[in-house]
Every structure is written in C-alpha cells, then in structure tokens.
Amino acid sequence: MKLLPRPLRGRDLLAIGAVAALAVTGVTAAPAVTALAAPGCAVTYTTNTWQNGFTANITIKNLGDPVDGWTLGFTFPDPGQKVTHGWSATYGQTGPAVTARSAGHNDRLGTGATTTIGFNGSHTGANPAPASFSLNGVTCTGAVVPTPTPTTTPTPGGTPVGINGRLRVCGVHLCNQYGRPVQLRGMSSHGLQWFADCYDEASLDALAHDWKADLFRISMYVQEGGYETDPARFTREVNRLVDMAEARGMYAVVDFHTLTPGDPTYNLDRAKTFFAAVSARNAAKDNVIYEIANEPNGVSWATIRSYAEQVIPVIRANDPDAVVIVGTRAWSSLGVSEGGNENEVVANPVNAANVMYAFHFYAASHTDSYRQTVARAATRLPLFVSEFGTVTYTGGGQLDLASTTAWLDLLDQHRISYANWTYSDAPESSAAFRPGTCGGGVYAGTGVLNESGVYLRARIRTADDFPTG
C-alpha cells in the first residue's frame, strides 16, 4: 500500500523562562536573579557563562496595565559586557546601558502576561547580572532572590540535552557528546497554522516533565496556509518553539514540512531562505536538529539528493556540526511505497557529514514488509523516524497498537529515534489529546488524552538509557 499524503486536517482548517543549555568546555551556570515589583514588572535574568562569552535569557512579566509595545532597560555592571546577538527583541547598547524593544510578535503584554527574550554576549570579567531592570520606564524593584537553575554538567537526573549535549552521527547511530549511541523519543506538533494554541508554556511543560519526552518536532508546513503565506511570522514561531524546547532541556527537530507538491526542489529557494535564518539564529544552541524536507514523493532519489546537497551547505555556513535529517523517496519510506528500497540511498548517499535519513510509517497501514526494510536498512544507514502514527496513513481510523508495539520494539532494538504524530487535539484518532484540550491550560496526566496519547505517553515515559561513559 502506498504511503499517501495526509489530507488537510484540523478544526475545519480554521484558522514563548529560558535557560540556555550550552555544552561548552568550562561553562558555568549562574544563578537566576529575580527582580520583583508591583504594580510594574518582574524580570528573571538567567545566564550560562564560559570564558569570554555568555548566553542570557530574560523572562519579563507585566504586573501593571496591558501594554502594546514595550522597551526593557538595564545596565551591565561590568564595562566589558556586550550584547553580540539577540533574539525575540531588538537590542541597542550605549556604553553599559542596554535596551531591548519588543519584536512585533510579542508587542502586547497583558496584565500578568510573560514573554521570554535572550541574547548572546561577550565579557572580560566576572559577568555579573544587572542590578535592576525597567519596563517602559517603570523600574522593576524589590528583593533580589537567587534561585537555582539547571547546570550544564551532565548528571543521570539531568535533561536530555543536559546529559547528551550536542549530537552527531557516528556510523549508523545518533551519538551524544561522549560518542555513545542514543535514542531520542518524543512527539511532533501538528501544523502551526492550525494548532498554534496547542504549543504554549503549559503544553511544553507537560511534554517535558509529565511525558518525559526527549524531543519536540516543530512541524512547519510550507504550503497549505503555512510558511509561504508569511515567512517572517512562521520563522519567528519556529524560533519561539526552539527556545521553549531548549528551556526544558528537549531537542527540537525543525521540520520544513513539505508534502504537496512532492518535489522538494519546488521549495528550494524558500528552504534556503528559511534555513539560513533559523540556523544563523540558533547556531549556538545544542538542541537543534534540522529536517529539510518532510515527505518527498513522486520524484527520484537523485532529485532529493540534489536538493539536500544544495540546502545543507546553507545550514553548514552557520552551524557546521548540526545533525540534518534528509527525507527519502516515496513519502520518506526509503522508496518502499513506490516499489523501491534502501539500496538507492546506500549506493548514493548525500555528500555531507552528520546526515540521517528519514523513515515514516503509520502502523495500521505499514506492517511486516516495511519493518523488514527498516531492520535491514538500520545496519547500513543512520535512520531517524521523524514521523509515525498509531493509525492508518490518513492520520485516522482504528488504532493498531499491536503493530505500533512491534514497530517501537524494533526502533528500540536499533536505537532509532522517533517522533509521534501528533501532539495536538486534532479531530482524528492519531492526535494525542481529546478535541478541545488545547488552550485550556491542562495537558498533564491521562484525563485529557485519546487512546493513542495514553499509549504513547506511557511508552515515552519509560526511563531513557543515555550512556555517559
């Protein structure tokens, strides 16, 4: 049976607290400094510092009247501290004085609302935190209270990114900073144009802490009302979700979600523009994996390979070592759904390092012959199951938990990482949440889950085996 494209899905098609986790030799994590005030603002400023450099993350909470457009002001205590590159705000610096202006998507801050911004910086001394902050001229005064923040020292109880650091491909495996094979397990978003309300702070908290997921796949459709309609807005949204995953110690798979048309070269210029921007902005992060074409179909492996060898250098110009996932022929089935197999990729692999190859399956539609291909290919190629479902290829229909269990047992055996479709409340049986869950603020536990969500949560929650020696 062919792995056919899924139809448009989602509510009749109606239509970011970050702690940077940098695995850098000599990195130290500074305590969070919280400045409290009422009725003005509260600011939490957290840094990770290494020799001559640091990353700062700032969470701003408005305790006063709603604002539309804001400027945060603060002064560095040390004249050697400089902002070098920022995100989610427009930064200015005169001497030690710094301003950060809202960036459009976060202009409005209602009473009690929060937003998170951040920057990379340089320093020549001890890199002390600013003594105070102001929001639109209102000083955020009050007690300065040190609170603990995660450190970048890997420990058995740490986060997936904290333990494994920057990933790379070694042989047929995805390997951690110790050069040991690891398997990441997590969930995929649905289309951001339809289900943005599913991906808020509470939702990502539940994924990281209740589900204990290792990764969050950010599924950014290019067509179907996605990126091509407003590249700047969708790029900002992807970056926001990358930051949210990073703050929770999860890996973020940035999925350039192409499906129709199936020829990836149709979106080549868009892909170059998008990945140039996202890789430049996130190059310092250890948690980003790039998936450059979701499900190529109706084209040859040679065409897909050519596309990959034009897009990957754009990423490498900014982020030389990031892991890149390349879609495979026939809806990322290694060609099986169009009568092929893994031999075409083995014989003509992408000419780039740190590359993995996507395999997608839907358990009720793709069974023994597909599993046999993966079992064979896993000894020859580095595979990443960046999308799979517990149901049919339509995203709906009856769950096949027996086939799903057989698939996940196989992936566990070969340490193949995976993301399930979908972490959403779409009106389809593949969705983790019951319809109406998103935007309601409650995502933890099983009470809000569909049958697929209950199964996947239990499977993902089992302890990770991340080797550190």
Three-class SS state of 455: helix
Taken in order 166, 169, 174, 177, is the CA torsion positive or negative? negative
Is 295 noted as a catalytic residue in this protein?
Answer: yes
Query: In sequence order, what DSSP letters do the residues of 266-291 get, joined into one string?
Result: GGHHHHHHHHHHHHHHHTT-SSEEEE
Structure tokens at 421: 């479709």
Q: Provide φ and ψ at 404, rounded to 5°.
A: -60, -45
CA-to-CA separations, 450 to 192, 206, 356, 361, in angstroms, rounded: 20, 15, 31, 20
Is 387 noted as a catalytic residue in this protein?
Answer: yes
User: Catalytic: which of 295, 342, 344, 428?
Assistant: 295
Query: In sequence order, what DSSP letters do the residues of 67-119 get, joined into one string?
Result: EES-EEEEE-SSTT-EEEEEESEEEEEETTEEEEEE-STT-EE-TT-EEEEEE
How many Å apart are CA 299 and CA 267, to the nearest integer?
Answer: 14
Structure tokens at 142: 């009050």
User: Catalytic: which of 237, 246, 342, 387?
Assistant: 387
Asked if residues 99 and 134 have their Cβ atoms less than 8 Å apart, the reply is no
How many Å apart are CA 8 and CA 208, to the nearest integer?
Answer: 28
Pairing of strands 108-109, 71-75: unpaired
| Active-site residue set | 295, 387
